[in-house]
Amino acid sequence: MSACAGRAVDKQETGYDYVRYKQLLAQADDETKRLELIEIMIREKARDRLEAQRIADRVAMTAMTVARVLGPGGRRDSF
């Protein structure tokens, strides 16, 4: 395995790491390295982490919108 495969365990518990995967993709200049990258992404469940991050971002944006609409009092009495 190449040096890029050794870093897979380091990021196991974090979210989707755009910068790292982009760097690994740039280094994957032959079939063996591309297959290693695919293996790393599967092992780290990259797609699942990306989806979870997107959902969390949508929830946060929704919460901010609701808070902004409801205002500082937390309720809206006049409809």
Taking residues 2-28, report their average pLDDT. Answer: 67
The amino acid that residue 24 corresponds to is: L
Helix ranges (H only) for the chain are 3-6, 18-27, 31-43, 46-70
pLDDT (tens digit, 9 = 90+) per residue, 44-70?
887 888 888 889 999 999 999 999 999
C-beta of residue 50 within 8 angstroms of C-beta of residue 17: no
State the Cα–Cα distance between residues 78 and 66, nearest whole angstrom.
16
Chain position carrying tokens 């808070």: 67
Exposure on the CB side of residue 15, measured as CA atoms within 13 A = 10
Model-wide pTM > 0.75: no
